Amino acid sequence: MNQNLQKLRTAALNAGVDAYIIFNTDPHSCEYVPDDYLVIKQLCGFTGDNATVVVTQDFAGLWTDSRFYISGTQELKDSGVALMKSTESTFLAWLKSNLNKGGVVAFDGRCTTASVYFDIKKKLDPLGVVLNEKLDLSSSFWHNRPKPKISPVYALDVKFTGVSTPDKIDAIVTKIKAENADRLLTSDLAEIAWILNLRGSDISYCPVFKAFMLIGSDASAVLFTDNQRFDDSVAEYLKQTGVVVCDYDLVYAALSGLPEGSSLIVDINSANAELYLSVNKQCKIIERRSPVQLMKAQKNETELSNIRRTMIIDGVAMERFFYWLENQLNNNIQVTEIDAANKLLEYRTMGEGFISESFECISAFNQHAAMPHFAPSKSNNLLLQKDGVYLVDSGGQYYTGTTDLTRVIPTGEFTQDFSIDYTLVLKAMVDIAMAIFPDKANGCSIDAIGRVSLWRYGKDFGHGTGHGVGFCLNVHEGPVSISPGSTKTTFLPGMVTSDEPGIYIEGKYGIRIENLLAVQKSEYEGFNRFETLTLCHIDTRAVDTKLLNRDEIEFINNYNKRVYNTLSPFLSQNENEYLKKRTAAI
């Protein structure tokens, strides 16, 4: 019997609520939901990152996607909550079929976006269902809810960021005026950190801090956050920059107090529903993608040269790790997936400016690597063995940039199938890295340039080929992506994207090779190309050169040579000998 579910039902009954919805989201739509917003995990033990729960007096269901059908079924056993497959139904369709006129649906409007709220309203309004979007019932069953993390905040010098906060605010003001608006609201933590050149550690893997921000067309800036987190220097910096600091929760009151007749830009895909609904009804809301998104995505020259330096620091950690790993295996010293991930983190931690990992390390042997999002845990931690395949997808947050790379190495002998698949993935990765493309090209076109080599052999993979990457911010950053569905945004100079095709053979192995690329103008008018940023050798032992053309082979040899030449000054003699061998031309 699930006591928590029982308590929630009682609370719902007392509040006159027929159906209560819980989203797995925090007020800022963070990719990594902070502990104090893991309401669903608290209710029923489910840990997947895609989840929406609906609870009524006689039903409780959790909708999630196929990645979590197996683990979710185990976790939800005995929870009283049924696993609902999002491929078969949606929570909204369920509500439509199971609610009557006058029924009351409630949820915490801070924990879902305005855009999702509109979807719910559009579907349920015609049924005469009543929405209460201001009800948080989680306290009924979550008594020891963690306190929100209020981390110290520090400034990133303009030698890292390239542009000062006043200059960024000026650029935003231009965009606000272009929309004939009076103000911009942003609740995206990466946007706020970018604007203010400040970083924190409220959220795992992304150096940001919880805040909201209002910027006026007169360049006024109000920051809603916990004031106590600032030391004197940051407080002084904010003061000198003209940023007024208010309490975090005051943002809702501030929005309702906006001057009558004024206008406000809101990004409904990132702003939470309560923010949107708090805005003074006498204001005009202009729904737009936040103009900060595109500014932040186009890295300036200072950021790019910092990223290039970061790639050396990160690459040195990677090469030292691979050298260590090869020695362990050669000497028959046992290494588990977790051991390997820990060792890599140890080497990264020694790097200048290292802050944290940029996401949970995917350290995966053989069949584990066939699951693209696998991360080892105590109960699911393979020993690396001879004649297998090891995949490591990891990255770091540095004051000077964010890294993300994937490499695959054979731990001994390998099959011909593996050799073909490895070569095809490498070919796809290299073909995108070498591509020249019109400055209007979309992510779908770039995606096909890579996938076509796999398709030729009837192979494909189920994830995108690339995602944008922030500067000492989110490792997954909008708006661009390289994927078949990415037809709306184009690749502008300075944008950083990953390039990570893969092939996954269930129960056997997974291959993904990933570098970060920066968009650069090409030598041809109207065409752009990529600069490869990541610096870590690509293992060529399994490469079948018959599947590659001259340009691809030349690219791989030049790349490995560049890796050796750039990193070797920072490596020991032994490490250098190892890297020399591994970067020999094919």
Residues that bind a second copy (CB under 8 A): 431, 435-438, 440-442, 444-449, 451-452, 455-458, 460, 484-485, 487, 522-527, 549
Q: Which is nearer to a second copy, 201 or 486 (CB)?
A: 486
Min. distance of Cβ 462 from a second copy in angstroms? Answer: 11
Min. distance of Cβ 438 from a second copy in angstroms? Answer: 6
What token pair was written down for 399? 């004051």
- How far, in Å, CA of 116 to CA of 109, rounded? 10
Q: Which is nearer to a second copy, 118 or 527 (CB)?
A: 527
Classify residue 538 by its DSSP letter: P
Beta strand segments in 271-399, E: 284-287, 354-357, 362-365, 389-394, 396-398
- How far, in Å, CA of 34 to CA of 54, rounded? 21
Q: How far is CA 173 from CA 43, 122, 168, 240, 579, in A?
A: 44, 33, 9, 18, 50
Q: Which is nearer to a second copy, 404 or 552 (CB)?
A: 552
Q: Which is nearer to a second copy, 37 or 461 (CB)?
A: 461
Min. distance of Cβ 453 from a second copy in angstroms? Answer: 10
- How far, in Å, CA of 491 to CA of 18, rounded? 47
**388 contacts 365 by C-beta, under 8 angstroms:** yes
- Helix (H), strand (E) counts: the chain: 18, 28
Min. distance of Cβ 430 from a second copy in angstroms? Answer: 13
Q: Which is nearer to a second copy, 263 or 483 (CB)?
A: 483
Long-range contacts of residues 80-85, Cβ cutoff 8 Å, at least 24 apart: 80/1, 80/2, 80/5, 80/44, 81/2, 81/5, 81/43, 81/44, 81/46, 81/53, 81/55
Integer-rounded Cα radius of gyration of the chain: 25
Min. distance of Cβ 487 from a second copy in angstroms? Answer: 5
- Smallest Cα–Cα separation from 394: which of 536, 565, 585? 536
**Residues forming beta bridges with residue 203, ordered by sequence position:** 206
Q: Which is nearer to a second copy, 449 or 536 (CB)?
A: 449
Q: Which is nearer to a second copy, 77 or 440 (CB)?
A: 440
- How far, in Å, CA of 467 to CA of 487, rounded? 14
**196 contacts 153 by C-beta, under 8 angstroms:** no
Q: Which is nearer to a second copy, 11 or 548 (CB)?
A: 548
Min. distance of Cβ 68 from a second copy in angstroms? Answer: 23
Min. distance of Cβ 504 from a second copy in angstroms? Answer: 15
Min. distance of Cβ 482 from a second copy in angstroms? Answer: 11
Classify residue 271 by its DSSP letter: S
Min. distance of Cβ 544 from a second copy in angstroms? Answer: 15
Min. distance of Cβ 424 from a second copy in angstroms? Answer: 12
What residues contact 394, with CB distance under 8 A and at least 6 apart? 341, 344, 357, 358, 359, 361, 362, 363, 404, 405, 406
Q: Which is nearer to a second copy, 239 or 284 (CB)?
A: 284
- Tell the burial category of 122 from Cβ atoms under 10 Å away from its Cβ (0-12, 13-18, 19+): exposed
Min. distance of Cβ 551 from a second copy in angstroms? Answer: 9
Q: Is residue 154 within a helix (H) or strand (E), and if so which, with residue range?
A: strand 154-155
Min. distance of Cβ 447 from a second copy in angstroms? Answer: 7
Q: Which is nearer to a second copy, 488 or 541 (CB)?
A: 488
Q: Which is nearer to a second copy, 397 or 489 (CB)?
A: 489
Classify residue 218 by its DSSP letter: T
Q: Which is nearer to a second copy, 163 or 448 (CB)?
A: 448
Going edge to edge, which strands form the sheet with 354-357? Answer: 354-357, 396-398, 401-402
**459 contacts 421 by C-beta, under 8 angstroms:** yes
> Any idea which residue has 């683990």 for tokens?
71
Q: Which is nearer to a second copy, 183 or 529 (CB)?
A: 529
**Residues forming beta bridges with residue 502, ordered by sequence position:** 512
Q: How far is CA 10 from CA 17, 39, 155, in A?
A: 10, 17, 47
Min. distance of Cβ 390 from a second copy in angstroms? Answer: 28
